[in-house]
Structure 1
Amino acid sequence: MTLPRGPRAWFGRLPVVTRLVLAVAVTMSLVLTGAAGLVYWRVRTALDQQLHDDLAAYQHSLDRAVRAGTALPPGPSGSFCQVLDVRGHVLTSSDAGGRRPLLTAAELDSATHGHRVRRDVGSLLPITPDTLRLQAERVTAGGKTRVVVAAVRRGHRDEALRELLAQLALASGLTLIAASYVGYRTARAALRPVERYRTAAAALADGGQDLRLDVPADRDDEITRLGHTLNRMLDRLEASAVRERQFLADASHELRTPLSLLRAEVDVALHRPRSAGELTETLRSVDAEVQRLIDLSNALLGLEELGSTGHITRAPVRLADLVETAVAPHLRTAERAGRTLTSDAADTTADVDARWLRPAVGNLVDNALRHGHGTVHLTAAVRGARLRLRVTDEGPGFQPAFLPRAFDRFARAEASRTSAGSGLGLAFVHAVAAAHGGSARVENTGSGAAVTLDLPC
């Protein structure tokens, strides 16, 4: 595999703390360089202006003396002068000026033609001796052209600038080190919770159980919100794992009985020759157990889908149509049992998920027909943006010990698991109610049992 090249790719492969420190260091370097450059420019401008003023005043006094033909006046400390003719010969010079012309041939020609010449001799860095700033002007004296050169030493000015540069370099270096250290400590402190989160996630990946990130409760920054988000993700993962384990345990426990019965029926049928009637009876028994397996599988899958997503799709549904569709499959069952099944639904609409609510209502009716007696009555009405569905029968009601666990999976009023039903009907009803943001309630009335769904619509 070819690795990306270039500064950006190299920078992207560095640890986060290193990248942050480098970013702080580079940014501070640019800021400090700009600030130091501004300070240096302002100070140098002020010193140059002072030097220029001294040089201009000295030049003016020299020009007057040459025009008047008097002795050359003394200048500022460390200054000197020369008076040249148009050929570059030194006519007059101060003691420090010497007899060697201070101007080059080109500068002398420019000054002779009336231009002001200004030049620095020597450099600031590296340090050179006898650094000067000189200025030359043309002066006419007694009908003759003369070039007057005034020069002042830059030693104090250059020394001040070198000292300034040293102080700026020292201050900038110390500031950069301090900023980098503070940036490093800040980055480490900011990323320390991330490292704790990574350690906890690694422990969870290695098989740890019930792990949660230690998130401060008195903060609300990006890292804290990340911790809360990760904790919610861990809660969902744990809930998903619990549901998976429960699903597997429930499925294995509940499927064992019908599968054992199927195996027993087949073994008995194969043990000795059977008549056509006996084989037909065996096939009917096998068919009943297969249907029981199908119902059990559908109920388990429905519960798992509701529990894993918790998502419903609401849509306006005519309440009377929903109730009629849910009750219709059970009318023949009630007729065969000599029972009466009635319904009373308001002529209105409800904003619910009919895909889930319809089978939930059917489960309630089926339970009432299986375990109750007398007339089964279903009422449905909307009051104050809430839908209330209630199924009642005229049987003996629920056993008191069964009421607290009525909505548990595989809870049955009968102790035997071979009784009719899977024990998942009321659990499915409760899951549908919870998915709608509502509630389910079981109770005994004076004349039988009642199950009520209360849903927002």
Structure 2
Amino acid sequence: MTPTAQPAAGTTLGRPRVLGRWHRLPIVLRLVLAVAVTMSLVLSGAAGLVYWRVEQALDEQLDADLAAYSHDLRSDLLTGRKLSGPDGSAYQVLTPQGKIIEASDLVRTEHLLNGADLRSVAAGASVRRDIGGLASLDPHTLRLRAQRVKLPDRTVIAVAAVRRGHRDEALRELLAQLAIAMSLTLVAASYVGYRTARAALDPVERYRRRAASLADGTSGVRLPVPEDRDDELTRLGHTLNEMLERLEAASERERRFLADASHELRTPLSLLRAEVDVALHRPRPAAELTDTLRSVDSEVQRLIDLTNALLDLEQLGGTDQLARSPIDLPELIASAIDPYRAAARREHRNLSVDVAPGTVNVDTNWIHPAIGNLVDNALRHSQGDIHVTATADDGHLRLTVTNEGPGFPSDFLPKAFDRFARAEASRTSPGSGLGLAFVAAVVTSHGGTARAENTTQGAAVSLDIPC
């Protein structure tokens, strides 16, 4: 079996390690480094383009001078004139074997062509090359051109050369100037990038410090958001302020819920303890013990009902997606209300229903008990007849439960759907104050609204649910 090649450790670990170090850097430093690297690339590209254009222009001029001098040298050889050249030039006349026949003082003893150059020129080609590099400070760097010249009595190789000193010096000066300009520009761009990043992130840091004060239990904290702007940071500030308001409201609801729940649980538990203490205080007849057990059973049932209501509300609040399904509206209303008809008859009250034909798309597991809670509340806390109406049109289920009686107290209406909210008149009646809160939670989870109001006949609770 051929062993599987394992990637090098540097390949698999190097990149995540570098990325990890990069992401651990402060944002300002990352922005400045990104600006510096980007500007370096841009400046390097611009400097390279400038250098290439200047070098090309200088080379064109130098090549033109070399071509003119090479032509003059060839003409002088053919006509037999004395060989000469402009200032800064040099020449050599060689045999095809490379022996110097005649040369200017600058290159009298130096062989300008190597063996490969000699063979190329002897074969009829023209050779052009440089002697010395740009980094060399030798003023006698040359650019030469060699060509074959057929004289009447022999064939020679004419080498014309011009000095590159001025050209190289100009390019070195250009490189130095470009390096200085790039350095200054890079420093300035990095500083501007740093100041810009700081100006952009300082509000975020102020927001962080103000929001951190929430950990100390400070209430009413709001971020300082300017009202005369509409940029990304301003919108972030408004969003965070809205979030802080919601957090404070949720915290307040939680404190109120814990206080109400503790109160509601404390009462039945205290009664249970009192009943048991009385029963244990001294021997009791069987009839008294039976009454005590009935009372205990009533309080236990009250605790169970309260616990179940709290669990239902918690479960509903954690439901991410409702299991909607189509159901016939008259069938839904009948199945939700029929269990309460016997209780209505016992109290000699009329429970009437007016339902229009139609189909609704709802989660019956939640809508069914919500409708039942409305009817149960009407039976518990009102007198007279109860009337239920329901219609399904325009994609909405509209349901109203009305009852005859004095209606809701005016100070109770704004908080009718709050948890443990109970009108003073109903404090002594059975119930936990979670019925309408459960109804509101079900309706809200369906994307609908619930409304409690008083009518001329009594109280009414209306539901509007998209279906």
Q: Which residue of 2 aligns with 1:71?
A: 82
Does the C-alpha gap of structure 1 residues 370 and 416 become closer, same or farther in structure 2, counting only changes over 3 Å?
closer
Relative to structure 1, the CA distance from residue 150 to residue 269 in structure 2 (aligned partners, 3 Å threshold; closer, same or farther) is same
2:449 to 431, 438, 441: 438
Counterpart AA for 2:168: D
Query: What aligned pairs does 1:22-171 form with structure 2 within 5 A after superposition?
Result: 22-72=33-83, 74-86=84-96, 90-94=100-104, 96-97=105-106, 99-104=108-113, 106=115, 107-108=117-118, 111-171=121-181
The answer as to whether partners of 2:354 and 2:388 remain within 8 angstroms in 1 is yes
Q: Which one of 222, 233, 243 corresponds to residue 253 of structure 2?
A: 243
Partner of 1:14: 25
Q: Which letter does structure 1 place at the counterpart of 2:147?
A: E
CA shift in 2, pair 1:452/1:65, >3 Å: closer
Distance 1:118 1:393 in 2: 111
Aligned residue runs from structure 1 range 252-331, under 5 A: 252-306=262-316, 313-331=323-341
Deviation track 1:4-54 (CA, whole Å, cap 9, x = no partner) reads: 765444434322222222222223222322222222222222212221221
Helix, strand or coil at the partner of 2:230: coil
Describe the shift of the 1:336–1:188 C-alpha distance in structure 2 as closer, same or farther (beyond 3 A).
Answer: same
Distance 1:61-1:285 versus aligned 2 partners, 3 A rule = same
Task: Give the SS at the match of 2:454.
Answer: strand
* 1:407 CA drift (Å): 4.1
1:401-433 C-alpha deviation (Å, 9 max, x unpaired): 555554454444445733332333334334444
Deviates more, 1:176-185 or 1:7-16: 7-16
Q: Which moved more, 1:51-60 or 1:423-432?
A: 423-432
1:370 is the counterpart of 2:380? yes
CA contact (8 A) 1:132 1:153 kept: yes
* SS of residue matched to 1:22: helix
- Looking at structure 1, the residues matched to 400 and 94 of structure 2 have their Cα atoms a distance apart, in angstroms, of 122
Give 1:246 deviation, angstroms.
2.0
The residue type equivalent to 2:72 in the other structure is S
Q: Does the 8 Å contact 1:438/1:456 carry over to 2?
A: no
How far apart, in 2, do the equivalents of 1:88 and 1:371 lie? 125
Check the 8 A contact 2:360/2:392 in 1, yes or no. yes
Q: Which runs of 5+ in 2 are unaligned?
A: 1-12
Do 1:348 and 1:382's aligned partners in 2 also have CA atoms closer than 8 Å? yes
Partner Cα separation in structure 2 for residue 364 and residue 449 of structure 1: 11
CA displacement 1:70-100 (0-9 Å, x = unmatched): 222x433322333344565554444x44642
Indicate whether 1:345 and 2:355 are aligned. yes
Contact 2:261–2:420 (CA<8 Å) still a contact in 1?
A: no
CA distance in 2, matches of 1:422, 1:97: 114
- Give the residue type in structure 2 aligned to 1:182: V
List per-residue Cα deviations over 1:288-311 (Å, max 9, x = no partner).
111122222233344455567697
Instruction: From the superposition, tell whether residues 310 and 229 of structure 1 become closer, same or farther in structure 2 (CA, over 3 Å).
Output: farther
Identity %: 62
Deviation, structure 1 residue 250: 0.9
SS of corresponding position for 2:388: strand
Give the stretch that moved more between structures: 126-135 or 284-293. 126-135
Query: What is the CA distance between 1:319 and its match in structure 2?
Result: 1.8
What are the superposed Cα offsets for residues 214-238 of structure 1, whole Å, 9 maximum, x if unpaired? 45563343x5565555455544443
424-433 or 150-159, which deviates more: 424-433
- 1:184-263 equivalences under 5 Å are 184-215=194-225, 218-221=229-232, 227=237, 230-263=240-273
Aligned equivalent of 1:183, options 178, 189, 193: 193
C-alpha spacing 1:418/1:310, structure 2 compared with 1 (3 Å): farther
Structure 2 counterparts to residues 364-443 of structure 1, below 5 A:
364-399=374-409, 402-403=412-413, 405-415=415-425, 417-435=427-445, 436-443=447-454
Q: Quote the offset at 1:354 in angstroms.
A: 2.9
> Is the contact between residue 392 and residue 450 of structure 1 (CA under 8 Å) also seen in structure 2?
yes
Q: Is the 8 A contact 2:380 2:429 kept in 1?
A: no
Q: Secondary structure at the match of 1:445?
A: coil
Q: 1:89–1:280: structure 2 CA closer, same or farther, 3 Å change rule?
A: closer
**2:182 matched to 1:172?**
yes
Q: How many residues align?
A: 450
Evaluate the alpha carbon distance shift between residue 98 and residue 22 of structure 1 in structure 2; reply closer, same or farther with a 3 A threshold.
Answer: closer
Displacement of 1:249 after TM fit? 0.7
Structure 2: distance between partners of 1:183 and 1:212:
30
Contact 2:397 2:466 in 1 (8 A): yes
* Cα deviation, residue 172, structure 1: 1.7
- Give the 3-state SS of the residue equivalent to 2:430 in structure 1: coil
Please say which of residues 384-393 and 240-249 is displaced more in the overlay.
Answer: 384-393
Q: Which runs of 5+ in 1 are unaligned?
A: none
Q: Secondary structure of 1:393's match? A: strand
> CA, structure 1 residues 53+267, in 2 after alignment: closer, same or farther (shift >3 Å)?
same
RMSD: 3.1
Is the Cα–Cα contact under 8 Å of residues 20 and 187 in structure 1 kept in the other structure?
A: yes
Deviations 1:352-385 (A, max 9, x none): 3333332232222223322333332322223444
Cα distance, 1:115–1:393 mapped onto 2, change above 3 Å: closer
Instruction: Single out whichever of 187-196 and 165-174 deviates more from structure 2.
Output: 187-196
